[in-house]
């Protein structure tokens, strides 16, 4: 058993290095599409506080900058999440704008937006999703990053609780890094 695993590993290494096999996994898709699909999907695994209602029939996922991920996210707009319609909205980041958001997605390029979104989340339920391996260190509750060519999730449940949000146990199971 050990030998066959070792052989398999060696083969991956040799073939991978020779460039013969760039795709040993079943599905291949552009980074922005996968990340956007993951962000859209994980909204369903977050519970906003009971009695807390958005003013309209929509759930606002706000972004700060034009990016390929934002464009892919907007393909999911109008889809139902928790019985509300998803709206993707670009904001400059003022306090009034942030008050209208139930979730924000912050590109890795914008760490200052992450810190300000985190400060907003201490006074209102706001899901803060950040891109990049260091998203949690910069104020995100959920980090969406690339590890070994696939999307990985980092989850900070303490930060989620502070904003009165609850992540489902399934999401926590899927997390690469979990702060509890």
Other beta carbons within 10 angstroms of residue 154's beta carbon come to 23
Closest approach of other proteins to the CB of residue 22, in Å: 3
CA distance 62 to 130: 12
CA angle 110, 113, 118 (to 5 degrees): 130
110 binds other proteins (CB under 8 A): yes
Closer Cβ to other proteins, 50 or 94, answer by number: 94
25 binds other proteins (CB under 8 A): yes
Closer Cβ to other proteins, 15 or 50, answer by number: 15
50 binds other proteins (CB under 8 A): no
Exactly one of 47, 74, 146, 164 binds other proteins (CB under 8 A); that residue is 146
86 binds other proteins (CB under 8 A): no
- Asked if 25 and 151 touch (Cβ cutoff 8 Å), the reply is no
CA angle 118, 124, 130 (to 5 degrees): 30
């Amino acid at each position: 058993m050990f030998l066959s695993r070792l052989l398999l590993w060696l083969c991956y290494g040799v073939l991978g290095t020779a460039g013969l096999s760039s795709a040993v996994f079943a599905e291949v898709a552009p980074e922005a599409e996968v990340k956007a699909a993951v962000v859209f999907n994980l909204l369903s695994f977050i519970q906003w506080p009971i009695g807390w209602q958005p003013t309209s029939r929509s759930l606002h996922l706000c972004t700060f900058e034009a990016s390929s991920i934002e464009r892919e996210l907007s393909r999911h707009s109008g889809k139902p999440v928790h019985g509300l319609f998803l709206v993707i909205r670009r904001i400059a980041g003022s306090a009034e704008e942030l008050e209208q958001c139930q979730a924000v997605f912050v590109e890795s390029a914008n760490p200052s937006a992450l810190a300000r979104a985190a400060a907003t989340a201490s006074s209102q339920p706001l899901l803060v999703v950040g891109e990049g391996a260091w998203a949690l260190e910069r104020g995100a509750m959920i980090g969406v990053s690339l590890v070994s060519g696939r999307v990985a999730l980092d989850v900070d449940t303490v930060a989620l609780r502070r904003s009165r949000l609850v992540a489902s146990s399934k999401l926590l199971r899927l997390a690469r890094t979990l702060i509890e």
